Amino acid sequence: MTNRHPEIVLPESDLNKNLRHKSRRGFLLGGLAAVGAVGAYKAVRLSHTDNEVPWPQRRVLDLNGKLWRSYLDDSHLMPTYPANQIGYLKPNGDHGLDDEPDDQGNPPAWDGLQLESPGASPVTLQLSDIQSLPRHEMTTKFCCIEGWSVVQKWTGARFSDFTRKFLPPGAHFTDYVYMATDGEDYFVGLDAKSALHPQTILAWEQNDKPLVYEHGAPLRLIIPVKYGIKNIKRIGLIRYTNQRPRDFWYEQGYDWFAGL
């Protein structure tokens, strides 16, 4: 059989020379790559910021939000779970919960829910108004942006039902919802598609018991398609708007959409 690829034998001096050349070239290329990476990192770090985040990183977060928003629709539901998987939900976050319960453990008075929308006068609703809506129960996973999650059962009214019932006739709303605690110490911005998702509810019960103060009594938002930072407690204000509203954690450098 003919040897079509004969072995090439180099003199030792030529071999060493070739190895030294490749070693120098590899070192130079590696050094240039490292310098380029460090330079790119510094460029991002030193670039102007957008709500506490360097603008290139903020653009990536915004793109991620657009992708999740395009994916989300009413048929994409988060999983539900049996009751035996319910765990303990720690009362994470106390922004907007500055008032202490009284000596009997009763939470501070709630002044009702103020509802605002474009082209209509503000309306104040009581808990009984919201509880008059069709009752909805779901057992879903509450996911914290810190990386942990726990299954919980929630009872309340779908926000879509709330909107159909209480959004005043003639109100011009298409894009966003803003929610805040009394005094607006904590606030979230939501896109309309997520807010009107069938699993988004205004909840007044947790695990078949009335909400306690540290978990947002008497009324909180549960929105399983978002991280816990969007699940605002003790809602005092809901505002429908066509301008993207403020968001507490977005202003601290997090993603505005915060979708799962």
Please write the tens of the pLDDT for every residue from 102-141.
777 677 889 999 999 998 999 999 999 999 999 999 999 9
Same domain, 76 and 202: yes
β-strands 113-116, 235-241: how paired? Answer: parallel
Q: Quick check: 56 pLDDT over 80? A: no
d(CA 82, CA 135): 19
Q: Which domain holds residue 125?
A: 49-95+108-252
Same domain, 71 and 38: no
Residue 57 is predicted with a pLDDT of 53
Q: Quick check: 218 pLDDT over 60? A: yes
Same domain, 35 and 112: no
| Confidence class for position 21, pLDDT limits 50, 70, 90 | low
**Residue 126's closest CA among 218, 210, 241?**
218
Q: What percentage of residues in the chain have a pLDDT greater than 90? A: 60
Residue 107 is predicted with a pLDDT of 73
Retrieve residue 183's tokens: 């005094």
d(CA 29, CA 44): 23
β-strands 209-210, 53-54: how paired? Answer: unpaired
Across the range 137-161, mean pLDDT stands at: 97
Buried (b) or exposed (e) across 212-244, using 16+ Cβ within 10 A? Answer: ebbbbbbbbbbbbbbbbbbbbbbbbbbbbbeee
Identify whether 23 is part of a domain: yes
Across the range 178-194, mean pLDDT stands at: 96
pTM: 0.76
